[in-house]
Amino acid sequence: MNQIIVSGNLGDDPRTAVTATGRAVARFSICSKMKYVDANGKQKEIPEWHRCIAWGKIADDVSMFLSKGDYIMVLGREQSRSYTDKNNIKRNMTEINVQSIWMPLMYFREKSQKVAQSPPNYQDIGQEVHEEEIPF
């Protein structure tokens, strides 16, 4: 089973786009923090950054309701991929393919009052994710 749950704050506003086939996609990063006490008794935090990608209805919700600094929790599956950058260097990356997002109700209430609601579009639930559809 490949399931991961991460909670933390968004490091920046989500980057959203639409693929050539009309499917919404959103990329964002979450910073989680591991807390521990060092040998001197001082509490320390280690930040850990997680790259996330969301598709379809979830991507629409991300673009409407989330912004830098928001606290969220995501459930998804971890996936690794490689690509060649603009300098022709092969790079590897690991990201979370988001299946569900939770955010505190107060964020949702504040943001939903600012956003005009559109009817939900559930046509891509359960569809396979293809890397060639990623526009960025």
Predicted local confidence at residue 124, as pLDDT? 53
User: Which residues on adjacent β-strands are paired with residue 32?
Assistant: 48
Tens-level pLDDT at each residue, the chain (136 residues): 889 999 999 999 999 999 889 899 999 999 999 999 999 999 999 999 999 999 999 999 898 888 899 999 999 999 999 989 889 999 999 999 999 998 876 665 566 555 545 555 545 545 555 555 555 5
Q: Sign of the C-alpha dihedral, residues 6, 46, 107, 134?
A: negative
CATH of domain 4-114: 2.40.50.140
Q: Where are the domains of the chain?
A: 4-114
Beta strands in 56-89 (DSSP E): 71-84
Local structure of residue 85 (DSSP, 8 states): -
54, 62 in Cβ contact below 8 A?
A: yes
Predicted local confidence at residue 65, as pLDDT? 86
Predicted local confidence at residue 1, as pLDDT? 80
Q: What angle do CA 81, 25, 8 make, to 5 degrees?
A: 75
Predicted local confidence at residue 33, as pLDDT? 93
pTM of the model: 0.72
Predicted local confidence at residue 103, as pLDDT? 82
